[in-house]
Amino acid sequence: MALKRALLIAAAACSPFLPVVHSQNATVPEIVDGTIRIYGNDAYKIPYRRLMPTDAARARYPGFKQETLTLKNGTIRREGAKALTSDIVFERDVALTLRDGVTIYADVYRPVGDQQVPAIIAYSPYGKEVGGQNLDDSAGRAGVPLANVSDLQKFEAADPAYWVPQGYAIVNPDTRGAYASQGNITYWGRQLAEDGYDLVEWIATQPWSSGKVAMSGNSWLGVSQWFTAAEHPPHLTAIAPWEALADLYRHVTNRGGIPAPAFQESIITSLAGNGFVEDSPRLIVGEGLINQYWEDKIARLEEITVPAYIVASYQNVLHTHGSFDGFRRIQSESKWLRVHNSFEWPDYYVPEHVEDLRKFFDHFLKGLDNGWDKTERIRLAILDPGHEDELNRPVGTWPVDGTTPTRFYPQADGALSTTAFKNKTVASYEVGGNSSLLTFKYTVPDGELLEINGYSKVRFWVEANGSNDMELQFLLEKRAANGSAFAGFGATASNPTISSTEYIRVSHRALDTQRSTNFEPYLTHDREELLSAGQIVPIEVGLWPIAIRFHPGESFVLTISPVQPLTTALDAGSGVAAITIPAAGGTYEPGSNVPMITLGGVKSNPAFVDEQRVATPVGRNNGTHIFHFGGCYDSHLLLPLNITSIA
pLDDT-derived band at 21 (thresholds 50, 70, 90) equals: very low
The continuous run of DSSP H or E covering 93 comes out as strand 88-97
Task: Indicate if the pLDDT at residue 24 is higher than 60.
Answer: no
Indicate whether 22 pLDDT > 70.
no
Half-sphere exposure of 24 (CA within 13 A, CB side): 18
The one-letter code for the residue type at 556 is F
pLDDT surpassing 50 at residue 346? yes
The pLDDT of residue 493 is 46
Per-residue confidence (pLDDT) for residue 15, from 0 to 100:
32
pLDDT in tens, 63-114: 999 999 999 999 999 999 999 999 999 999 999 999 999 999 999 999 999 9
pLDDT one-digit tens code per residue, 238-276: 999 999 999 999 999 999 999 999 999 999 999 999 999
Dihedral over Cα of 373, 374, 375, 378: its sign: positive
How many other CB atoms are found less than 10 A from the CB of residue 426? Answer: 14
Position 2 confidence tier, pLDDT thresholds 50, 70, 90: very low
pLDDT of residue 13: 38
pLDDT at 235 over 90: yes
What is the distance between the alpha carbons of residues 161 and 50, in angstroms, rounded to a whole number? 35
Using alpha carbons only, how large is the chain's radius of gyration in Å? 25
Its CATH class, for the domain covering 2-374, is alpha beta
Give residue 433's pLDDT band: very low, low, confident or very high (50, 70, 90): confident
Alpha-carbon separation of residue 196 from 5, 89, 191 (angstroms): 27, 23, 9
Under 8 Å between Cβ of 547 and 451:
yes
Helix (H) or strand (E) holding 359: helix 351-365
Residue 396 corresponds to which amino acid?
A: G
Residue 471 has a pLDDT of 98
Burial 388-415 (b: 16+ CB within 10 A, else e): eeeeeeebeebbbeebeeebbbbbeeee
Residue-level pLDDT at 495: 65
Query: What per-residue confidence (pLDDT) applies to 645?
Result: 84
Q: For the chain, give every domain's residue range.
A: 2-374, 404-567+619-645
Q: What is the pLDDT of residue 435?
A: 87
Averaged over 639-644, what is the pLDDT?
95
Number of Cα atoms under 13 Å in the Cβ half of residue 339:
34
pLDDT at res. 488: 84
Q: What is the CATH number of domain 404-567+619-645?
A: 2.60.120.260
| Mean pLDDT estimate for the chain | 94
Q: Please report the pLDDT score of residue 208 as a whole number.
A: 98
Q: Which residues pair with 630 in a beta bridge?
A: 633
